[in-house]
Amino acid sequence: MADATFSPMTDSALTLASRPRATRFRKATEEPRWFRWTLTAVVLVLLAVLVLAPLATVFVEALVKGIPAALESLGDEDALAAIRLTLTIAAVAVPLNALFGVAAAWALTKYSWRGKAFLLTLIDLPFSVSPVVAGLCIVLLFGANSAIGGWLVATGHPIVFAVPGIVLATMFITFPFVARELVPLMTEQGTSEEEAALTLGASGARMFFTVTLPNIKWALLYGVLLCNARAMGEFGAVAVVSGKIRGETATMPIMIEIFYNQYASVAAFTMAGVLTLLALVTLGLKTALEWRYADQLSASGRH
Amino acid sequence: MHIEIDEIAKEFGATAALQPVSLSIPSGALIALLGPSGSGKTTLLRILGGLEEPSQGRVLFDGVDATGMRVQDRRAGFVFQHYALFKHMTVFENIAYGLRARPRATRPANAEIGRRVTKLLELIQLPDIGKRYPSQLSGGQRQRVALARALAIEPRMLLLDEPFGALDAKVRKELRGGLRHIHDTTGLTTIFVTHDQEEAMELADLVVVMSMGRIEQVGKPADIRAKPQTEFVREFLAA
């Protein structure tokens, strides 16, 4: 191609003959141009069909009767309750899972003990178990028909078909996110900085807050953002444990389903749009942090 | 400080890293623990520093049993193999860490901390690097900062794990002189681990040759060279 642009059309054949293609140097890891273009095109088409089109549809459908109609549907009392509930659930589940994630990563990377591999598998379990199954387990364990559940209901603190159950289900589903981000990083960092802090007289708590936490803060933030996105969007497990009581235990994803089943499509898609926007904010935040602190992120990865 | 190691042994699961060993280290000495990898020298150093618990035996500091003493209370200045500097802190904050970590009652005032850190930076002959981060330093500079950080806590002894291991030959020679100078200035009982016999022989007052978790020979460098007591020492020195 380069040959053709450098010489007049008339003697391009001559140029090609005198300069065979094979002399153009190509890096060992570089595929031919047609391959790269095809690959990129396939990815772009897939992204457009699988991600962009549905995303656009959500907003188009939400605004099909105009912005006022969309906003009005959000003013519905049940819709507002759902938004409040989802934000509350995320506000409870995400910090708790950040805490447990750090604890689990710590136990897995800073000590060596029997059964470590088992714990690692256990942390991954929520990724492989169907959310519906997870929800069912919580219902069976804490539902009114179980011993614990019966007692809880009798004392006026029901878990299933109430907010605590939704928190539990959400925490189960999002448990791996923080730990999964932290384990590889903390494994690579080892324990010598912590040991140094101890030999210098630091208490365990001081060591954690002045050495360990600064070293893992970016990975932790990443994990928390992912965890948050998933916590707000979880449907399957929450659908089972919540009982889908409008205005009480219906989270945003549940409310979307309820609206949709009632053919209230503007309300359903507007709610979906809000949920999508919340997710996009999370994603934007993550990207902004990556840009702003790119050097520090790579510095904590290598050293 | 006089250090007495009394029948110390260490097992990791089924493997014995250290057979029962005994060693008396006179106050103010500069000692090398010399041996191939897996000889137990680093394990012994970590037991002295309180980072590892011995399976049996006792450690005495100036005649007082210190076996169960917490690592924080030992006041052992420890220099790690790859220095373990705190990446996110400046050199100044790295060196000040031990002073800031003290309980309020014994913590020096900020001005005093600044004065001490400045003095330590002068001691390691890097007076102007306080504001830099560890990633902006050369290997040799990092090692000296790690040394200054360990000295800041006014340690009772100095323990160094392969202090020259990660450096190139030229820097290594320079820093040997630096360690000797710091030892002579502070008068601290100093123990360093190395697998390099030339380093041990040149720098240490007393060399402890170790192999397979056992002490093979203890003596002045010249004596060990002249009269190797075991087959292992003879072969190790010849290598």
What is A92-140 written as a DSSP string?
HHHHHHHHHHHHHHHHHHT---TTHHHHHHHHHHHHHS-HHHHHHHHHH
Count other C-beta atoms under 10 Å from residue B155's C-beta: 22
CA distance A101 to A120: 12
Which residue from B75, B84, B88 is facing A196, i.e. has the nearest CB? B84
Which pLDDT score, from 0 to 100, does residue A8 have? 47
Same domain as A45, residue A74: no
The string of pLDDT tens digits covering residues B80-89 is 999 999 999 9
CATH number at residue A242: 1.10.3720.10
Q: With bands split at pLDDT 50, 70 and 90, how would you rate the model's confidence at A235?
A: very high
Type of residue numbered A145? N
The partner residues of B9 in beta bridges, in order of sequence, read B56
Q: Is A38 found in the same domain as A140?
A: no
ipTM computed for the complex? 0.92
Write down the pLDDT at residue A21.
55
Closest CA to A170 of A109, A115, A252: A252
Q: In terms of domains, do A175 and A56 share one?
A: no
A43, A60, A77 — which closes off a domain?
A60
Residue A147 is which amino acid?
A: A
- Mean pLDDT (chain A, rounded): 85
pLDDT at res. A201: 93
Query: Are A99 and A30 in a shared domain?
Result: no
Please report residues of B whose CB lies closer than 8 A to that of A214.
Answer: 86, 88
- Residues present in chain B in total: 239
Residue B50 at interface with chain A, using a CB cutoff of 8 Å? yes
What is the separation of C-alpha A150 from the centre of its chain, rounded to a whole number of angstroms? 35
**Both A51 and A156 in a single domain?**
no
Please list every residue in chain B whose beta carbon sits closer than 8 Å to the beta carbon of residue A197: 86, 97, 101
Q: Is residue A244 located within the same domain as residue A141?
A: yes
- pLDDT tens, residue by residue, A3-55: 444 444 444 444 545 555 556 677 787 788 889 999 999 999 999 999 999 99
Report the percentage of chain A scoring pLDDT > 90. 47
* Higher-confidence position of B15 and A296: B15
Do the domain assignments include residue A11? Answer: no
Query: Measuring CA to CA, which residue among A136, A142, A128, A141 is closest to residue A239?
Result: A136
The alpha-helical segments, DSSP class H, found in chain A are 2-6, 12-18, 33-47, 53-62, 67-75, 77-109, 116-128, 131-142, 147-154, 163-189, 192-199, 204-207, 213-233, 236-242, 252-261, 265-292, 294-301
Taking a C-beta distance cutoff of 8 angstroms, is the pair B184, B152 a contact? no
Cβ under 8 Å to B: A residues 203-242: 203, 206, 210-211, 214-215
Looking at the fold, whether A139 and A213 belong to one and the same domain comes out as yes
- B51 to chain A: which residues are within 8 Å by CB? 195, 198-199
| pLDDT (0 to 100) of residue A297 | 58
- A236 and A268 belong to one structural domain: yes
Cβ distance B87 to A303 less than 8 Å, yes or no, reads: yes
- Domains of chain B, CATH where assigned: 1-75+156-214 (3.40.50.300), 85-154 (no CATH)
Gap between the terminal Cα atoms of chain A: 43
Would you say B74 and B154 are in contact if contact means Cβ atoms under 8 Å apart?
no
Q: Are A82 and A254 in contact (CB under 8 A)?
A: yes
Q: Which two tokens stand for residue A89?
A: 């659930």
Query: pLDDT tens across B154-198, in order?
Result: 999 999 999 988 788 888 888 888 899 999 999 999 999 999 988
User: Do A40 and A160 fall within a single domain?
Assistant: no
- Token pair listed for A229: 């996105």
- What pairing do the DSSP bridges indicate for beta strands B56-61 and B64-65? antiparallel
Structural tokens at position A71? 């906003």
Determine how many CB atoms are found less than 10 A away from the CB of residue B124. 22
Regarding whether A44 and A79 lie in a shared domain, the answer is no
Tell me the one-letter amino acid at B11: E
Give yes or no: residues A55 and A176 share one domain.
Answer: no
Three-state DSSP state, A146: coil
- pLDDT recorded at residue B172: 87
Q: Is the pTM of this model over 0.90?
A: no
A203 assigned to some structural domain = yes
Q: What is the largest CA-CA distance in chain A?
A: 94
pLDDT tens-place string over residues A75-122: 889 999 999 999 999 999 999 999 999 999 998 888 777 888 888 888
> Which of A201, A214, A300 has its CB closest to that of B101?
A201
CA of residue B190 relative to chain centroid, distance: 6
Q: Is residue A16 part of a domain?
A: no
Tens digit of pLDDT at every position of chain B (239 positions): 899 999 999 998 888 899 999 999 999 999 999 999 889 999 999 999 999 999 999 999 998 999 989 999 999 999 999 999 999 999 999 999 999 999 988 999 999 999 999 999 999 989 999 999 999 999 899 999 999 999 999 999 999 999 988 788 888 888 888 899 999 999 999 999 999 988 999 999 999 999 999 999 999 999 999 999 999 999 998 87
Q: How many domains does chain A have?
A: 2
Tell me how far CA of residue A265 lies from CA of A50, A51, A274, B136, in angstroms: 21, 20, 14, 59
Residue A245 lies in a domain: yes
Tell me the backbone φ, ψ of residue B3, rounded to 5 degrees: -120, 130
| pLDDT the model gives residue A246 | 87
Q: Which of B73, B88, B137, B159 to probe the A interface (max A CBs under 10 A)? A: B88
For strand B206-211 and strand B30-34, is the pairing parallel, antiparallel, or unpaired?
parallel
Rounded distance between C-alpha atoms, residue B179 and residue B123, angstroms: 11
Residue A244 is predicted with a pLDDT of 87
Residues of A within 8 A of B84 (CB-CB) are 192-193, 195-196
Name the minimum distance, in Å, from the CA of B137 to any CA of chain A: 12
- DSSP label at residue A19: S
Domain assignment of residue A237, yes or no: yes
Interface test with B, best of A200, A211, A216 (most B CBs within 10 A): A200
Q: Does residue A215 surpass a pLDDT of 50?
A: yes
End residue of a domain, out of A36, A60, A84: A60
A303 pLDDT tier (thresholds 50, 70, 90): very low
Tokens read off for A85: 């509930």
How far is it, in rounded angstroms, from Cα B213 to Cα B229? 17
pLDDT-derived band at A2, boundaries 50, 70, 90? very low
Structural domain contains residue A47: yes
Question: How many residues are recorded in chain A?
Answer: 303
Could you tell me the residue range of the domain that residue A43 belongs to? 26-60
* Residue B170, pLDDT score: 83
E-only strand ranges, chain B: 3-12, 15-25, 30-34, 56-61, 64-65, 76-79, 157-161, 189-194, 206-211, 214-219
pLDDT attached to residue B169: 82
Using pLDDT thresholds of 50, 70 and 90, give the confidence band for residue A145.
confident
The pLDDT, as a whole number, for residue A147 is 83
Q: Is the dihedral of CA A218, A224, A228, A234 positive or negative?
A: positive
- Percent of chain A at pLDDT > 70 equals 89
For residues B126 and B91, give the distance between their C-alpha atoms in angstroms, rounded to a whole number: 10
Q: Are A249 and A166 in contact (CB under 8 A)?
A: yes
**A120 and A171 housed in the same domain:** yes
Query: Across the interface, which of A192, A198, A201 has its CB nearest the CB of B102?
Result: A201
Within a domain: A90 = yes
CA-nearest residue to A215 within chain B is: B88
Residue A301 domain-assigned (yes or no): no
- Chain B closest CA to A202's CA: distance in Å? 5
Three-class secondary structure of residue A22 per DSSP: helix
| Residues in CB range of A248: below 8 A, 6 or more apart | A81
Which of A60, A86, A112 terminates a domain? The answer is A60
CB spacing of A201 vs B78 below 8 angstroms:
no
Residue B88 and residue A303: Cβ atoms within 8 Å?
no
